[in-house]
Amino acid sequence: MALSLKIKIRWGYVIAFLMLLISYVLIFYIIRKVAKEASAVSHSYAVINMLESIKAEVTDAETGVRGYVLTSDTRFLKPYNTGSRNSLSLVRQLKSMMSDNIGAKGKLDTMGELVSKRLSLLSNSIAGFQRGGFTITDSMKAHRETNKNTMDSLRMLVRTLQEKEYMIMNQRNDKVRGFFGNTEVLAVTSLLVALITVIYSLIVYTRENKAKEEADQTAKAYSLELEARVNELNRVNVELEELKSMEKFTSTGRIARTIAHEVRNPLTNISLASEQIKEAVVGNSEADVLLEMIGRNVNRINQLVSDLLNSTRFGQLEYTSIDINRLLDETLELAADRIELNHVRIEKYFEKGMPEVLVDKEKMKLALLNIIVNAIEAMKKDDGLLQIRTYKQGGRCVVEFRDNGAGMDDDTLHKLFEPYFTSKQKGNGLGLTNTQNIILNHKGNINVRSQQGKGSTFFVILNFENNV
């Protein structure tokens, strides 16, 4: 039974993958072995260098003592002092490096004894030279042969250990070269397997390419169509949200005007009646106090009604072209006292080169100031952070205010722009209502996202001057 094209392709890739996997496993194993042997070679180099350093330090010490004896100049003792300190330390380091070499332990112990003995003889020579009035004494002459034999023994021991390490290092270098040879064979094999796989894949690709291109074109067309529909849906959703906000605000305005009409009529009657009563009871102090109280409360109610109407009524705007970043800077200057008093940190991320917006400058400042003040009051003193960003989105200007305050729950978010709704102990609840009125009056929009314990973010969306 003939195998289908898909099965052939599948088995071809499986075989090629297995061959490459085996090659890579072997190469990885060889690399590990090479690394191990290379480390061992480096260790041998380090041991050889350490042996040479020990011999050099002892030789320097011996040379320094000779110079001192010949010249009586203490400056020649500097190599002796340095060699005395370093040689024994180097012997200890060498023992630590070769701690796993049991066969060399005895020789290293002998080396330590020879170094110590040679340094002791040098020290005795210095002391004898100084005691003898800086002349070569008979005792120093008597120890010449001992000094020579000790140094010769040390040199011979160093040479023996170095030759042993050179022999070990050469053996390891041979292994490394052998490993590299095997690696080359495996690399060539892997390359051949890869070439075979590529050729096989090209053959299969040329057969299936046409169908794949057609499928890709179809998928791309579906993707573009889907993306266009998603963008259209997002645009319609934004417009719907703006229409809902406008409808809600318009409804609130109608209710406010109705309430104002129904409240002001009886207020007028109450005010007139209190004036007539005041004329009728002239000289009655108790009545005057009560009538005065009525008058104050009538005026207070009338002012509340006026504030409500002003915060829900579209007014005439005096448009000015201005850079939104500069407008925000001027607004922040108005809030400078509150910012400094609460020790709030301000971080500005203003996009450069933004087109100008066409707004009523003073009213827009008031709207932005209300948002900034609300953010300041929502944050803890000495720990507040207000981030202000400006950027372009969909051909419109977006101003983002992000604070790290207490945040709001869903019920508060739903009622946030309603007149007289407030969670503060002080305040009439008309600030954000007025802010929404100003922004909607500019054919803009304001949105809020918030989560309790994680702060709030206000988004003010305005039209650029060329889009108004």
The more confident residue out of 310 and 128 is 128
Tell me which DSSP letter residue 354 carries. Answer: P
The more confident residue out of 269 and 404 is 404
Helix (H) or strand (E) holding 217: helix 144-280
> Do the beta carbons of residue 110 and residue 154 sit within 8 Å?
no
Whether 56 shows a pLDDT value over 60: the answer reads yes
Chain-centroid distance of CA 77 in Å reads 57
Counting Cβ atoms within 10 Å, is residue 3 exposed (0-12), middle (13-18) or buried (19+)?
exposed
The more confident residue out of 14 and 2 is 14
Cα 257 from Cα 238, distance rounded (Å): 28
Cα 240 from Cα 452, distance rounded (Å): 27
How many CA atoms lie less than 13 Å away from 230 in the CB half-sphere?
A: 6
Cα 126 from Cα 131, distance rounded (Å): 9
Cα 427 from Cα 431, distance rounded (Å): 8
Whether 86 shows a pLDDT value over 60: the answer reads yes
**pLDDT tens digits, residue range 429-439?**
677 888 888 88
**pLDDT tens digits, residue range 377-411?**
889 988 899 999 999 988 899 999 999 998 988 88
Whether 235 shows a pLDDT value over 70: the answer reads no
The pLDDT value given to residue 459? 95
Tell me which DSSP letter residue 281 carries. Answer: T
**pLDDT tens digits, residue range 362-371?**
889 989 999 9
Spell out the residues 6+ positions from residue 157 whose beta carbon is closer than 8 angstroms to its own: 107, 110, 111, 114
The number of residues in the chain equals 468
Spell out the residues 6+ positions from residue 285 whose beta carbon is closer than 8 angstroms to its own: none
Q: Averaged over 75-94, what is the pLDDT?
A: 85
Cα 396 from Cα 236, distance rounded (Å): 15
Chain-centroid distance of CA 124 in Å reads 65
Counting Cβ atoms within 10 Å, is residue 414 exposed (0-12), middle (13-18) or buried (19+)?
exposed
